Structure 1
């Protein structure tokens, strides 16, 4: 489940950084200094809001999580991330274009806002990872409840989470890639 949260973090971060870099090149209506300061404030606010959004729902669903059954379909980390990115690519493109376009008025602010949303998703995934370590189980969303276009692990279709042991699958707690130790 943390993989779905984490899937949007990298695209938002990098598109935000690129848009902010392009935005700094444009003098804008308010000037670069005001644009960067406003962007820094938006970065912090967006990061905090995204990191804290829907925590009660995540908490309630994780407390009521059931052990994954034999017939539950759970998918790999790479497939989940790829499906999320494919389902949201047009939204990401529109957000990037809006961030670059906003540089005409307030340079770099839109890009830093986007980057702040990406950082907020990373923080939320880390929080979920700490919960998974405390539960000593990975939290999963069934594939049939998680459509590629919706891609929200707390959506209306999600009725509960499934748990497996921390060694299951190719994801570590928090949605990161599982590191396999090198053979000696």
Structure 2
């Protein structure tokens, strides 16, 4: 970076990056799991999976909200030499950093279908839905505050870190027109 500038990634984009892969891994694992009768039977597996889906979505959506709020409140304005990372680069880095975890989660959900059909897949899909809900909440906060929240790329740790994890000391803020992603991390239309 030139003259003290830093690479910055959007917080909402990092949160949203895991939503689609988790959702689709969960949906496929649950669909394949329905083909197996399992030890408990399909009916119990689907009911248990529905409960796991709802609980996981709520837990993921509400986890670390106070930390996100505190980081957003203390966010300093980004400097003119800071480099704003594209949405596609942020998503690609997150997915590369988590590909083995996604594969292990998919395999674990398939394996659990021999005992409780579809429940493991619905759990993973619930995590994806929770991340979408959290990204939507961040987007509403960004619109209300009229600023986008960014985190230093090196604090994310090879694209695999959490935007509100322990290594993150502070955030930066820009106007809502900065970057190529809309508030909440979705593609800008």
Please give the TM-score of this superposition, normalised by the length of structure 2: 0.92
**Cα distance in 2 between the residues matched to 1:129 and 1:140:** 12
Counterpart position of 1:139: 149
Counterpart position of 1:98: 108
Q: CA deviation at 1:147?
A: 1.8
Query: Which of 53, 67, 82 pairs up with 2:63?
Result: 53
Q: CA deviation at 1:73?
A: 3.2
Q: CA deviation at 1:155?
A: 1.4
Q: Is the contact made by 2:93 and 2:160 (CA closer than 8 Å) also made in structure 1?
A: no
Q: Is the contact made by 2:17 and 2:95 (CA closer than 8 Å) also made in structure 1?
A: yes
Query: Which of 79, 87, 95 pairs up with 1:85?
Result: 95
**Cα distance in 1 between the residues matched to 2:145 and 2:85:** 21
Counterpart position of 1:182: none
**Cα distance in 2 between the residues matched to 1:51 and 1:157:** 21
Counterpart position of 1:128: 138
Instruction: Give the unaligned 5+ runs of structure 1.
Output: 180-184
CA RMSD of aligned residues (A): 0.9
- Counting only pairs closer than 5 Å after superposition, residues 107-118 of structure 1 correspond to structure 2 as 107-118=117-128
Instruction: Give the unaligned 5+ runs of structure 2.
Output: 1-10
Q: Is the contact made by 2:90 and 2:159 (CA closer than 8 Å) also made in structure 1?
A: no
**Cα distance in 2 between the residues matched to 1:150 and 1:68:** 23
Counterpart position of 2:72: 62
Q: Secondary structure of 1:170's match?
A: coil
Please give the TM-score of this superposition, normalised by the length of structure 1: 0.95
Counterpart position of 2:163: 153
**Cα distance in 1 between the residues matched to 2:115 and 2:158:** 34
Counterpart position of 2:34: 24
**Cα distance in 1 between the residues matched to 2:187 and 2:145:** 19
**Cα distance in 2 between the residues matched to 1:149 and 1:128:** 19
Q: Whose strand proportion is higher, 1 or 2?
A: 2
**Cα distance in 1 between the residues matched to 2:143 and 2:159:** 29
Find out whether 1:174 has 2:184 as its counterpart: yes
